């Protein structure tokens, strides 16, 4: 039976998306400004540190793009697999199929961002993404199930349909149109679009077709990142999935609010702002890396083994810092030392200006004395 709601792909103007470009123009300009700042700053970072930043950001993206879909991966296995895919030294742990697949896809997305989008490339991504899955009929190809592909919630006897995708029999035709549009709107295409506009349209357009049995959200976000890289003509380093995951409810609400009509200004403004936030987070990570290098240059050779271990553990928390700060109790747990030694070590770190002390008595906490740009 046909649905009562008319979805955007059922309307006469599909897939001609309408939007107010004037509302996007200042966001596009800000994106290019921030991209220039990031590109200039990373040139002054040592190669090993650059590689560390790339691995950390791609690991975060792989973790969060999966978590958005309810799949929780092992962070250590992800990072190890990503390092292997880059040909870097790592441990010899056995990597589970899911972590191996998403790591392989994300590294390929980064390294081969300028590969033309095609059915074959999407099938290749899907095969990697579905690595180890045994519950799917269609892996590495578009869906073939004759039943309606729906996004639903609620009870089985009274489900709420948030979206219904085009039937499987028209998916190949729809994807032909999508790939042609993607090529036409590329920087060197016949009808190039601004970077954020193209990324927002591409993501929404793809997920509305929902061509695969599973993995559409993850591949849709990968397409958005590919779009940004193509626009900048270099691999992108932004925390898109991390940012979306922090506001996951708003993300799904915006997608649902944009799948019933083809006027999508509100969606594009939301998605552009999300990319800007993701870009800012990547810049914070870069600033932290630069500040971390300066920090170690300042205290090199001044720490004992216990202090070095604790500082390294605090650094792993990134720009947000160690939750609740370091305390004597945490120091004891991390190093296995006595309370007297822990207190002495921490005070020594304060005197060396490696840590800043706040609070008194049981509320005493220690934080990294690391200078970040505001």
Q: Quick one: average pLDDT of 209-238?
A: 96
On whether the CB atoms of residues 339 and 332 are closer than 8 A, the answer is yes
| 91 vs 203, higher pLDDT | 203
Mean pLDDT taken over the chain: 93
**Domains in the chain, ordered, with CATH?**
8-288 (1.10.3290.10), 303-368 (1.10.10.10)
Structure tokens at 354: 């490696």
Residues in the chain: 374
Q: Quick one: average pLDDT of 306-329?
A: 88
Q: Is the dihedral of CA 214, 278, 85, 70 positive or negative?
A: negative
CB atoms within 10 A of CB 290: 19
Residue 107 has pLDDT above 50, yes or no: yes
Residue 162 has pLDDT above 90, yes or no: no
Residue 3 has pLDDT above 80, yes or no: no
Residue 264 has pLDDT above 60, yes or no: yes
The set of residues, in sequence order, having a beta carbon less than 8 Å from that of 337 and lying 6+ positions away, is 306, 331, 345
- pLDDT > 90: percent of the chain: 80
Q: Can you give the pLDDT at residue 237?
A: 87
CA 285, 129, 101: angle at the middle one, nearest 5?
Answer: 70
Q: Diameter of the chain by CA atoms? A: 76
Q: What is the pTM (predicted TM-score) of this model? A: 0.89
Residue 2 has pLDDT above 80, yes or no: no
Residue 161 has pLDDT above 90, yes or no: no
pLDDT in tens, 23-78: 999 999 999 999 999 999 898 888 888 898 999 999 999 999 999 999 999 999 99
CB atoms within 10 A of CB 298: 13
Q: If pLDDT is split at 50, 70 and 90, which confidence band does 1 have?
A: very low
Q: Quick one: average pLDDT of 305-322?
A: 88
């Amino acid at each position: 039976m046909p649905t009562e709601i008319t979805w955007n792909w059922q309307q006469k103007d599909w897939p001609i998306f309408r939007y107010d470009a004037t509302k996007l123009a200042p966001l596009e300009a800000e994106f290019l400004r921030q991209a220039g700042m990031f590109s200039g700053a990373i040139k002054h970072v040592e190669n090993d540190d650059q590689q560390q930043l790339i691995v950390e950001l791609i690991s975060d993206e792989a973790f969060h793009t999966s978590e958005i879909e309810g799949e929780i991966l092992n962070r250590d296995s992800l990072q190890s697999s990503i390092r292997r895919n880059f040909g870097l030294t790592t441990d010899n742990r056995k990597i589970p199929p899911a972590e191996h697949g998403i790591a392989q896809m994300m590294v390929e997305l980064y390294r081969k961002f300028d590969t033309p989008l095609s059915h074959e490339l999407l099938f290749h991504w899907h095969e990697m993404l579905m690595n180890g899955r045994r519950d799917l009929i269609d892996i590495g190809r578009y869906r073939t199930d004759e039943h309606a592909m729906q996004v639903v919630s609620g009870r089985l006897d009274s489900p709420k349909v948030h979206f219904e995708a085009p039937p499987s029999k028209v998916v190949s035709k729809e994807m032909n149109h999508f790939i042609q549009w993607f090529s036409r709107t590329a920087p060197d295409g016949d009808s190039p679009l601004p970077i954020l506009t193209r990324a927002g349209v591409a993501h929404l357009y793809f997920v509305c077709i929902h061509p695969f049995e599973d993995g559409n959200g993850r591949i849709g976000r990968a397409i958005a990142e590919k779009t940004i890289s193509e626009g900048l003509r270099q691999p992108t380093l932004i925390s898109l999935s991390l940012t979306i995951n922090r506001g996951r409810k708003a993300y799904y609400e915006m997608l649902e609010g944009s799948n019933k009509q083809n006027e999508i200004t509100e969606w594009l403004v939301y998605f552009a702002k999300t990319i800007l936030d993701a870009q800012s987070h990547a810049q914070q990570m870069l600033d932290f890396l630069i500040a971390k290098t300066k920090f170690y240059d300042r205290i090199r050779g001044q720490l004992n083994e216990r202090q070095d271990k604790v500082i390294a553990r605090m650094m792993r928390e990134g720009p947000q810092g160690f939750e609740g700060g370091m305390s004597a109790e945490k120091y004891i747990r991390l190093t296995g030392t006595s309370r007297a030694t822990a207190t002495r070590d921490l005070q020594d770190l304060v005197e060396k200006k490696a840590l800043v002390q706040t609070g008194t008595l049981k509320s005493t906490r220690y934080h990294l004395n690391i200078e970040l740009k505001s």
